[in-house]
Amino acid sequence: MDPFHLDIPQQDLDELHHRLANTRWPGELPGVGWDYGVSQTSLAELVDYWQHGFDWRAQEARLNAHPQFTTTVDGQRLHFLHVRSPEPDATPLIMTHGWPSTVADFLDVLGPLTDPRAHGGDPKDAFHVVAPSVPGFAFSGPTGDRGWNTRRTARAWAELMRRLGYERYGAQGGDFGSIVSPELGRVAPEAVLGVHVNAVANAGVPTAPGDLERLSEEDRKRAKENETWWYAHSGYATQMATRPQTLAYALNDSPAGQLAWNLEWFVDWDPATTNQTPVSRDAILTNVTIFWLTGTAGSAARLYLEAARDGWGVRLAPSGVPTAVANFRGDHALRGLAELSNTVTRWSEYDTGGHFASLQAPDVLVDDIRAFFRAR
C-alpha cells in the first residue's frame, strides 16, 4: 500500500486552458436548445467557466484532505480513499462510483459516514470507508489488459478489503457501482454483510423472456416506458459498449468534447426541463478534469464493452446477501426486476436528488445507508 498525494504539474493545467481557449465550435441549428444533444450555448458557458473560474487546486486540496493510497491487484494499479472512522467499532464499507464519475463524488458524504458524532448523528452508525477508483478510471487507469469487467472488479475489491484487514464489510454503489456491489456479494458472500445501491443500472427494463410477466400491471407499464426512454438516451452506451477505442481519440484530444460527452448524463439531457436536482458545475468539472489530466476517458469507456461481453443485462441469481435499493428522483429501477437478481430487504423511494445521489442529495443518501446497515 503506497500513500498517494495528488499534485498536478502547472504545465498540465496551462495546456488544458490553452486547448479550451482554442476550441473549434461546430455550430448548431438556431433555437433547437438540447433537442439534438448538448446545447452549444450551454457548453460554451461551461467551457468559459472551466478556463477562467474553476479552481482545480481547491478540488485537489479537497481530495488530498483524505488519506489516499495505491496498490496493485491482479496486475492493475488501484487507487483508493481509505477514511477510517474515529469510532473503533465502525462498520467497514466499500463504495463504488459509476460513469462518468470518480471518487470525488463521495467527498460530501465521507464526513457524515465516518464521523456521525461530528455531524449530528449517532456514533453507532459510523463507517470506515474505502472508496476505490474503478479500474480504468482516473488514478486507477488506464487498464493494461482486457477483461476488466464488473465481475473482475468485484474480485479486486474483495482482495483489496482482505489486504486492508476487513473480514466483514458492507458494499455500496451507484450506476456501475450498483452492478459491482451486488457482484461483490456473489464473489465474497461470506464477507459482505449487506449491499446498498442507488441509481440501479440493470433493473429498469426487461432483459430476459418472462421478465414482464413477473411484474404487476403498473410496473409492466413503467417497464415499457423505461424501454422507450432508454432507446432515446442510450446512444452513448451503445458506442462505448461496441467501439470505445474509436471514441477515445476524440475524448482524449478535446477537453470541450470530453466535457460535452460527460455533460449529457450529468444534466439529464435538458437542464431546462429535468426533474432532478442539478449537479453543481464544480462537481461536473472536477470529474471531467480528473479524466482529462489522467488521460483515462477512453480507458473508462472500455468498461462498457467489457461489461457487455461479460453478459451485461443477463439476470444473475441472487447472492442471498441482504440488499437495499434507494430510488431517487428520475431513477428507473423497478423492485420486481431488481428482486430477480437481488435479495431485496429494503426499498426506498425519494422525490429528491437524482442519478448522482451523493452529489444531489448527500444527506438523504447517508441517512438511507445508515438505516440499512443499522439492522445488519
Catalytic residue positions, numbered: 175, 304, 355
- 175 strand-pairing partners: 200
C-alpha cell of 90?
465502525
Rounded to the nearest 5 degrees, what angle is found at the Cα of 12, between the Cα atoms of 11 and 14? 60
Long-range contacts of 291-296 (CB under 8 A, 24+ apart): 291/100, 291/102, 291/137, 291/138, 291/251, 291/258, 291/262, 292/16, 292/255, 292/258, 293/8, 293/12, 293/16, 294/138, 294/139, 294/141, 295/142, 295/252, 296/136, 296/137, 296/138, 296/141, 296/142
**Chain center to CA of 233:** 18
Of the candidates 44, 39, 54, 10, the one whose C-alpha atom is nearest the C-alpha of residue 24 is 44
Asked if residue 100 has a cis previous peptide bond (ω within 30° of 0), the answer is yes
Q: How far is the C-alpha of 168 from the C-alpha of 187, rounded, in Å?
A: 13
Q: In the sheet that 2-3 helps form, which strands lie side by side, from edge to edge? A: 2-3, 68-73, 76-83, 127-132, 91-96, 169-175, 192-200, 322-327, 343-349
Which residue in this structure is represented by grid cell 442510450? 234
